[in-house]
Structure 1
């Protein structure tokens, strides 16, 4: 069972949505396994429900909303630092050219 602070919008989703702010260092349970948050997750933000591979579609509401820019582990925050929008190019943090 998943943490009651996290909402599954569709069985097809590979992310869960925070129903409230969850602080860094708190433990959330996803798929029966505990995960300690490395950073605070704000209300409405996403956490990975399962492993998401680099380039794999991130699914919310049962539809793809973007692509993972790197591998994402279960319980990890999913946001513009590791997700590229399929709809709006501005919704990604690009790495600076080296």
Structure 2
């Protein structure tokens, strides 16, 4: 069943690969919205996503950049499927990442 009412997550930029939950979300279909566009986006969540945390809007391959705010915010440390919870278990922050592994 699809939620109705306000969006469950927000997308900051057209280039973003993740959205941010605006409330605690449970697995299943959830509608989200862009900050600067009227379109909505439906994603089937595979896991619970807590308020303020990220969810994948598309598949993200291990080693690929994770984009939020139109910027690289991290690197996927495992394959991430559309609808997955995106957090420290599958992303390494770009803030702490340096070119020397």
TM-score interval, smaller chain: 0.7 to 0.9
TM-score normalised over the length of structure 1? 0.75
> Which protein has the bigger strand share?
2
Question: CA offset at residue 36 of structure 1?
Answer: 4.0
Provide the secondary structure at the position in 1 that maps to 2:15: coil
Number of positions where the alignment pairs a residue of Structure 1 with one of Structure 2: 84
Tell me the C-alpha RMSD between the 2 structures.
Answer: 2.0
Cα 1:80/1:46, change in 2 over 3 Å:
same
TM-score normalised over the length of structure 2? 0.73
Residue 44 of structure 2: aligned partner: 35
Q: Which runs of 4+ in 1 moved over 2 A?
A: 25-32
Deviation per residue, 1:40-66 (Å, 9 max, x gap) = 211110000011011000001000001
Unaligned runs of 5+ in 1: 90-98
Unaligned runs of 5+ in 2: 33-40
Q: How does 1:55-94 map to 2 (within 5 A)?
A: 55-88=63-96
